Amino acid sequence: MQASIFSGQVTAAAIFLCVGSAHAACDFDIAVNDSMSFEINEMVADSGCETINVRISHSGQLAKATMGHNWVLSKTADYQAVATDGMNAGLENDYLKPDDARVIAHTKIVGAGESDSISFSPSGLEPGGDYTFFCSFPGHWAVMYGKLVVQ
Ligand code: CO
């Protein structure tokens, strides 16, 4: 019944861009700070994007050795193992096992005042698949994560 309130007012463009409850997008700007959290816990990516572009920006005061964050994407089924293996890889490897094939995309670890961006093709992502983004800094992954939805 709610839909009738808006009928005739919603443009075709808006219907195209807003599938379901959230906007599917190609570009994501994610803020992080001195807490172990991303500002969002869900991202909705459009499988039709040429590339998916993710930027992570650290607005806190703490250096990356203390409160570093990255943005790592894997299948949800792989996420815990990727994070655990990454713990020992060190900051120089952004706390990820080098050449870990389970990692779909990732930024570098950033600290206070830093940012990093990554662009990747959505061709390896299945619409409706189960994906998790997380920070692989030791101790963060268990609380610093979210869901990536592909539409
Ligand atoms: Co973190």
pTM > 0.75: yes or no:
yes
pLDDT digits (tens, 9 = 90+) for 2-24: 444 444 444 444 444 444 556 89
**145 Cα: distance to centroid of ligand 1 (angstroms):** 9
Q: Nearest 10 degrees: CA dihedral of 86, 82, 133, 107?
A: 40
| pLDDT tens digits, one per residue of 88-116 | 999 999 999 999 999 999 999 999 999 99
Report the separation in Å between the CA atom of 129 and the middle of ligand 1, taken as the mean of its atom positions.
Answer: 24
Give Dmax over CA atoms of the chain in angstroms.
57
Q: What class is the 12-150 domain?
A: mainly beta
**Ligand 1 midpoint to CA 138 (Å):** 8
CA of residue 36 to ligand 1 center, whole Å: 5
Residues 45, 26: contact at Cβ < 8 Å?
yes
| pLDDT, average across residues 44-63 | 97
The residue extents of the domains of the chain are: 12-150
Ligand 1: distance of its center to the CA of 68 in Å?
5
Spacing, Cα 62 to ligand 1 middle (Å): 11
Phi, psi (degrees; rounded to nearest 5) at 96: -135, 135
Q: What are the DSSP E strand ranges found in 2-144?
A: 27-32, 42-45, 52-58, 72-75, 103-106, 115-120, 131-134
> Ligand 1 mean position to 16 CA, how many Å?
34
C-alpha 35/C-alpha 14 separation (Å) is 35
CA 103 to chain centre: 12
Identify the CA nearest to 143 among candidates 41, 27, 31.
41
